[in-house]
Amino acid sequence: MTRILAIATQKGGVGKTSTAVNLGCRLAMDGANVLIVDLEPQAQAGSALGVNLVSEDDIRRSLGLALTDSLTKAGSRESLSKIAFDRDELVSEYEGGRLAVLASEESTMTAAQNAFVTRPYSDTPILRRRLLHEFAGEFDYILIDTPPAVSSLNAVGLAAADAVISLVNPEYPTIKGAMILKEAVQAVENLTAGECKPRFLGAFMNRSNPESAWTVEDLNILEMMITGGLYPYVTDIRRDRRISRAYFDGRPAVLQHPNQSCGKQYTDLLQEVLDRMDTPEAAWPIAQLPGDGEDDSDD
Ligand SMILES: Nc1ncnc2c1ncn2[C@@H]1O[C@H](COP(=O)(O)OP(=O)(O)OP(=O)(O)O)[C@@H](O)[C@H]1O
Ligand SMILES: [Mg+2]
């Protein structure tokens, strides 16, 4: 069975793409067959995996084009196996797993986004219904990197997913972004008349500060995550330059630093995500507020 997971929040720049590529690589390093879907006009998930669509031939393989064709030309688009980019070389030193990406490009994905705006909501499940089902059985996991904002394209990603992970940074506005996203996930079932039922899998803290340096803001944010129903993960991903550097190298951090703190944090986060997929919310371990909150020296 293929499991489809979207990484999403309404706020921009919090680390959705970094999460999608690192969790996807970790799964492939562990032997799973993984497809990353770059549903983003900025095309950063592809580029973080070393795929940049530049030539006309490349652009013919863009996911944006496949989406637009699915909406407008019933049945006549390229098969997805022809447009997926094979990235097995990234994980070739590990056993067994496969890594592929459906890559994006700005003009074609923006055109797809505009096409969805003018279509009824009933077309929103098209990525799941007409595209990803082609890969049923071929991949163990499909990870969808979504655009920020609750846009038509974002809704397409949520509707395609079995489960959605959100994330925040240690900054207040990012909490609201995750809460809005949670509401959007919960609305999908009604809006698609029960066809799509993504499950909200909670939010983790990305770019976290070390606990010894926590301010009142860090504590408040964790408390707001708990009380706001975001089910904060026990594992967070620290702010770490190795993550941003790796992103621009086209080889995610988890590949370059599997045994260093950033690689280990992604491994732990992945395990928590997989556990949450198989258990009811009531059984999820969630992050706890530390001690008495005495660590507020910055404020
Ligand atoms: N834990 C981290 N430590 C350090 N840098 C990080 C971390 N997470 C993400 N970054 C960096 O922050 C920037 C934004 O991250 P990313 O592109 O993953 O966010 P995004 O939510 O996908 O953004 P957008 O909304 O624009 O799609 C990138 O340069 C990325 O490398
Ligand atoms: Mg992104």
> d(Cα 7, Cα 190) in Å, to the nearest integer?
21
**What pLDDT is recorded for position 81?**
83
Ligand 1 pocket, residue 153 CB under 6 Å = no
Instruction: Kindly report, residue by residue over 81-90, the tens digit of the pLDDT.
Output: 889 999 999 9
Bridge partner residues of 100 (DSSP): 35, 86
Task: Please report, for the domain that includes residue 36, its CATH number.
Answer: 3.40.50.300
Instruction: Kindly report, residue by residue over 257-274, the tens digit of the pLDDT.
Output: 999 999 999 999 999 999
Q: Inform me whether the pLDDT recorded for 296 exceeds 50.
A: no
Q: Are 5 and 144 in contact (CB under 8 A)?
A: yes
Average pLDDT over residues 198-207: 98
Residue 74 — pLDDT band, cuts 50, 70, 90?
Answer: low
Bridge partner residues of 237 (DSSP): 206
Q: How many domains does the chain have?
A: 1
Average pLDDT over residues 11-29: 98
Does residue 205 form part of some domain?
A: yes
Q: Are 66 and 104 in contact (CB under 8 A)?
A: no
Residue 238 — pLDDT band, cuts 50, 70, 90?
Answer: very high
Q: Closest ligand to 151 CA?
A: 1
Q: Whose CA is nearest to atom 19 of ligand 1?
A: 15
> d(Cα 43, Cα 54) in Å, to the nearest integer?
11
Does residue 158 form part of some domain?
A: yes
| CA neighbours closer than 13 Å in the CB half-sphere of residue 251 | 11
What's 113's DSSP letter?
H
Place of tokens 């799941």: 128
Q: Inform me whether the pLDDT recorded for 79 exceeds 50.
A: yes
Does residue 294 form part of some domain?
A: no
Average pLDDT over residues 70-89: 82
Cα of 190 from ligand 1 centre, angstroms:
31
Radius of gyration of the chain (CA): 19
**What pLDDT is recorded for position 144?**
97
Q: Are 161 and 6 in contact (CB under 8 A)?
A: yes
Residues 6+ apart with CB under 8 A from 210: 238
Instruction: Kindly report, residue by residue over 102-131, the tens digit of the pLDDT.
Output: 999 999 999 999 999 999 888 999 988 888
Q: Which amino acid does the sequence have at 143? A: L
Average pLDDT over residues 150-155: 88
Ligand 1 pocket, residue 148 CB under 6 Å = yes
Question: At 141, which helix (H) or strand (E)?
Answer: strand 141-145
Distance, CA of 210 to chain centre: 24
Average pLDDT over residues 64-89: 85
Average pLDDT over residues 207-232: 96
> d(Cα 296, Cα 189) in Å, to the nearest integer?
42
Does residue 298 form part of some domain?
A: no
Ligand 1 pocket, residue 240 CB under 6 Å = yes
Pocket probe mutation, ligand 1, options 9, 11, 17, max atoms within 8 Å of Cβ: 17
**What pLDDT is recorded for position 295?**
47
Ligand 1 pocket, residue 245 CB under 6 Å = no
Average pLDDT over residues 293-298: 46
Q: Looking at the CA of residue 148, tell me the nearest atom of ligand 1.
A: 25
Does residue 224 form part of some domain?
A: yes
User: From residue 289, how far is each of 128, 205, 221, 223, 295 by CA, in Å?
Assistant: 38, 13, 10, 7, 11
Q: Inform me whether the pLDDT recorded for 299 exceeds 70.
A: no
Give percent of the chain above pLDDT 70: 96
Does residue 295 form part of some domain?
A: no
Does residue 293 form part of some domain?
A: no
> d(Cα 95, Cα 31) in Å, to the nearest integer?
6
Burial class (CB in 10 A: 0-12, 13-18, 19+), 149: middle
Q: Are 17 and 153 in contact (CB under 8 A)?
A: no
Q: Are 203 and 167 in contact (CB under 8 A)?
A: yes
Residue 165 — pLDDT band, cuts 50, 70, 90?
Answer: very high
Q: In angstroms, how far is the first alpha carbon of the chain from the final one?
A: 49
Domain enclosing residue 175, as ranges: 3-283
Does residue 242 form part of some domain?
A: yes
**What pLDDT is recorded for position 290?**
82
Average pLDDT over residues 168-176: 96
Q: Inform me whether the pLDDT recorded for 23 exceeds 60.
A: yes
Q: Inform me whether the pLDDT recorded for 75 exceeds 80.
A: no
Ligand 1 pocket, residue 265 CB under 6 Å = no
Q: Whose CA is nearest to atom 16 of ligand 1?
A: 15
